[in-house]
Structure 1
Amino acid sequence: MDTLGTMWLADVEHAGRLRPQTLDTYRHTVDRAIVPAIGGLRLREVTPGRVDHLLKGISRTHPAKARQV
């Protein structure tokens, strides 16, 4: 998932459709929330249950951030 996140961010940046602030927010979310939680998993290992667990964990401490993930 770490590689997928990096590739997605590169594609979004290359498209040039987002404001720099929005891109920074996306990058921060990937780097601080997604990669630490599921970055070491292969895509096939990312199940709905794991994503739900990730979102519940984020929403406990940062409810607004959970909506962005």
Structure 2
Amino acid sequence: MEMLNQCFETMQSTMAKYKMAGYEPDVEIKVDRNECSFFELYRAKEMIEVGRKAALSALQAGHKI
């Protein structure tokens, strides 16, 4: 399962880089990859909160949307 997870993360990372190269975002909000794996969907509420905190930090750092 770990190998499948690594393959998925590599593919997702490559696709994200490709899209961001073509459509530069106004703000990039990064969440640590180790926060959650692909198979931990039951942690959705927790991960939404992690994303919310990362967004607030980015906005407080002076980024504007």
Report the TM-score, using the length of structure 2 for normalisation. 0.44
Q: Which has the higher contact order (CA 8 A, sep 6+)?
A: 2
TM-score for both structures, normalised by structure 1: 0.43
Tell which structure's C-alpha radius of gyration is larger: 2
